[in-house]
Structure 1
Amino acid sequence: MKHIVLTLLLILSSCKSEPKTETVGDKEIDPTVHAMWHSFTESYLEFKKEELPDSWYFHNTKEDADRLATLTLNGKKTAMTSGLHTWYKEANADLPTVGTKHIVTDFEGKARAIIKITAVDTIPFNKLSKEGAAMDMGSNVEPLKKWKKAHWDFFSSVMAEKGERPTEDMVIVFEKFERIWP
């Protein structure tokens, strides 16, 4: 199960960009990530001593990653589903923390926005509201239907690796965030 959690985290947090100047573990960081963080901390000196936040892109395709980064930058995407609650338990990992900052990138790893987690909820898959789905999808056009299909398909494929199947009442971790830069 740790493999599944690591796979999910890599999908959510990997950057694929050129040129690279620094690596953290096996992850290469685009120079725009450092530049964005520097600009932010120069404008908000109270964060100057904070370490560079994790940088990552949404989803696992260029089209989706770039689209979701743009929706975040435009303030339309204000939430994300970060996985199943059981994955955190099995990995003995803490749930995301309110106040944590992340740098959202496009698929190539170019920094697009800095977000801060404002709320973390654990809710059954079938209890996510239309409003929550709209915040995650960044759209008001059939958001719940689209959210359910996209996430059901993802959870199905990941869980199949362990011979498991998703259920309507599986508990998800749902994070709300605000864009704080630019």
Structure 2
Amino acid sequence: MKHLAIVLIFILMSCKNEPKTETKMETDTNGDIVTESESESQIDQSVYEMWNNYIKSNPEFKNQEIPESDFFHNNREDANRLAVLTINGKKKASSGLYSLYKQYNVDIPKVGTKQIITDFDGKAKAIIENSSVDTIPFNKISKDYAELDMGTDIEPLEKWKKAHWDFFESVLEESGEKPTEEMLVVCVTFETIWTEK
């Protein structure tokens, strides 16, 4: 989970990861996960509650580590809007710039990885599971993929290209680089497997 701040900066619709260092994971008498945090930055209790509810209904995952908790995008309005689209099953993908994964030595997402999606304030909203991960040139992104990422069928490719070009441009500007039509994008599709009850 190193480089989490860097990941926030460079992945559009990527996620803010709450640091888990110095957090002790314990269970109570019911087997629910509880925490004792030794750092100032804490994961919202709703994240643990959502995971506990999920594993109570899916006991085969009780020995899995709690997934990272993240929100999409980098501002309150978009993060909260995208959380709602994820809950509703309309948003089913996210995109990141491949070169920055490599530059900062951050692992490419993996199929089967779960994440707890939160709103901008860190309140748990849904659990997702990655179903595919591909690396595709910016100019080869399909309308179908854009629709999954944007959560809309109204001009999804045009909206996807504009939003992602602008974001990638602002991120690359910091290192003196410029976006290109051929830049590689890490395209992750996912399924929403659990929502607030």
Q: TM-score, normalised by structure 1?
A: 0.88
Change in Cα spacing, 1:78 to 1:24, as seen in structure 2 (3 Å) is: farther
Identity percentage of aligned residues: 55
The secondary structure found in structure 2 opposite 1:12 is coil
- Which runs of structure 2 are paired with 1:1-182 in the superposition (5 Å)? 4-5=6-7, 7-8=9-10, 12-14=15-17, 27-81=41-95, 83-182=96-195
Once the two structures are TM-superposed, the CA of residue 7 in structure 1 deviates from its matched residue by 2.8
Change in Cα spacing, 1:112 to 1:4, as seen in structure 2 (3 Å) is: closer
Name the counterpart of 2:31: none
Larger radius of gyration: 2
User: Which contiguous aligned blocks of 4+ residues in structure 1 show a shift greater than 6 angstroms?
Assistant: none
Q: Any idea what the Cα deviations from partners look like across 1:62-84, whole Å, max 9, x if unmatched? A: 11111110110000000010x21
Query: Contact 2:130 / 2:191 at 8 angstroms: preserved in 1?
Result: yes
The secondary structure found in structure 1 opposite 2:130 is strand
Higher relative contact order (CA 8 A, sep 6+): 1
Matched to 1:69, the amino acid is A
Structure number having the greater helix percentage = 1
In structure 2, runs of 5+ residues without a counterpart are: 19-34
Q: TM-score, normalised by structure 2?
A: 0.82
Q: Any idea what the Cα deviations from partners look like across 1:121-176, whole Å, max 9, x if unmatched? A: 00000111011000000001111111111111111111000110000110000000
Write the distance in 1 (CA, Å) between the matches of 2:140 and 2:98: 14
In structure 1, runs of 5+ residues without a counterpart are: 16-20
How well do the aligned residues superpose, as a CA RMSD in angstroms? 2.2
